[in-house]
Every structure is written in structure tokens, then in C-alpha cells.
Amino acid sequence: MITLTYWDLAGLSLITVFAGGLLFLNGFEHTRQLAVASVRMVVQLLLMGVWLSWVFYSDSLLLVGLVSVIMMTFAGYEILKRQTYRFPKLGSFWVGLMSLSMTALVLTLGTLILIIEPEPWFQPQYAIPLLGMILGNSMTAIGLGLNTLTQNAVQQKDVIEAQLALGKSARESMAFLKRQSLHTALIPVVNMLAAAGVVSLPGMMTGQILAGVDPIEAVKYQIMIMFLVATSTATGVMIALWLAQKRLFDTRDRLVVECLVKNP
């Protein structure tokens, strides 16, 4: 495999700086956020590379578990940050974390034990990248779904309360909002599945091919990942929307959107 030097990466970063400059000149409001996110990306990936090198050589279940917990915690925090309205007392964080862990962990463990079958089953080379890809896609979908649901609940409060007044349950009065939220959350995943292999070469497949893996073997791994991502995002979003709905109503099925706090 052809290796890249840090000077190569530094040169590529200048392209991003140039693009950021053009955005700034055209009045793009979030240029600073783009710059901060780019720096964060570099630092986080370099730290993860150093950390993973150590974890891979150690082959320790404890370290794999620790890395998994850290990854899920940060994913939950990112979901919280992306909300226009959030639940108080880190409620949005816990909704995101619980829906992520209930899907990503089950799918990752099931795939490792039943499909890939590495020895040992928690081999970091497989466990951590697999969990990371599932978490990354699920995090985006859950964040979109939650944000759409809470925003619509605030904006359409009168519509929901009118349905409650007509005798509908909390589940029935929220059904149309949940369908909208699920649709919004899953659009990126559906587009990714539809475009794979025709419009784009997915990341894992590209990385394996660049590393010298047989293309057919890389395709098989990518198909496996696509199935896992589709399953984790769909189930994760549904769990998150259900948990969010429980927080939007009290024990007497009264809507309490007042509990939502505008994210700073």
C-alpha cells in the first residue's frame, strides 16, 4: 500500500482552507464551524489512530469495551448538539445514547459472533471499525429524526392538542409527526443504498481496495455493512422517536412541549 506523509495531508488541507475562504467571501455564516470541525476531525483521527494501534496490539476485551463506551458517549453528545430543541437534564443525550446502544451493540455483537467469527470474537481489528461505521450512520439518522419530531411538536402543538381533544391517544396524535420524522431521518440512508456501486464507492470498500484487498471480498464486506447500517438506522430512529414521544407527554397523555429547551 502506498503510504501518505504528513506533508501530503498538509497540502490537502490547503484545499479545504481555500474552499472555506470562498464560503466566507460569499457570506456563509458557518465558516468558523467548518474550520473548527476540520481541526477537530484531524486531532480526533490522529488520536484515534494512536489509541487504536495500542488497542490492536493489546487484544484486550477491557480496552475494546472502553473504546466502545467512549464512542457511544460522544455519539450521544453529538446528537444532543444537533437538536434545535432539547429535553432538559440531558434528556436528548440519554434518548440518543439508549437508542444507539440498543441497536449498534446488538448488531455489532451478533455480526462478530455469528457472521465474521474472528478469534477472539472481540478482536479489535473487526469490532471497533464495525461499531464505528454503525454508530456514525445511526447517529446522523437519530439526530435528524429527533430534531424533526421536537421541532414539529413545538410548531404543531395546536394540531396535536386538537387531536387529543377528539379522544385520540398520545400515540395516535403523534403518528403523523413520527412518520414525517422517520422519513426525514431515513432519506440519507436510502439514498446511500441506492447510489452504492453506481454513483459512489462506499468508504469501507474504497479503503479495502486501496489496501490491496480483493475487490470481490471488499464488496462482500461492504454489502454486510450496508445491511447493518440500514437495520441500525431504521430501528434506532424508531426507538428514539418512541422514547422522545414518552417524554413529550405526561402520565395523563397531556402534551408538555414546554419541557423542551431551545438549544443555545
Ordered mean pLDDT values, 10 residues apiece, the chain (264 residues) = 82 88 81 86 88 82 91 92 88 92 93 92 90 92 94 90 88 91 92 80 75 84 91 94 91 84 80
pLDDT at residue number 130: 92
Dist. CA 145–CA 67, nearest whole Å: 26
Is 140 within 8 Å of 77 (Cβ atoms)? no
Q: Convert 174-211 to b/e letters by CB count within 10 Å (16 or more is b).
A: beebbeebbebbbeebeebeeebeeeebbebbeebbee
**Cβ partners under 8 Å of residue 133, min gap 6:** 203, 204, 225, 228, 229
Q: Where are the alpha helices (DSSP H) in the chain?
A: 6-25, 31-58, 61-81, 91-110, 124-155, 157-165, 170-195, 203-210, 215-248
Mean pLDDT of the chain: 88
Residue 44, CA atoms < 13 Å, CB-side half-sphere = 9
pLDDT at residue number 214: 86
pLDDT at residue number 177: 92
Residue 192, CA atoms < 13 Å, CB-side half-sphere = 19
> Cβ of 39: how many Cβ atoms within 10 Å?
11
Dist. CA 213–CA 219, nearest whole Å: 10
**Cβ partners under 8 Å of residue 150, min gap 6:** 83, 84, 85, 86, 244, 248, 260
pLDDT at residue number 146: 94
pLDDT at residue number 105: 92
Dist. CA 218–CA 77, nearest whole Å: 32
pLDDT at residue number 1: 64
What angle separates helix 124-155 from helix 157-165, to the nearest 10 degrees? 80
> Cβ of 141: how many Cβ atoms within 10 Å?
25
pLDDT at residue number 167: 87
Dist. CA 83–CA 61, nearest whole Å: 34
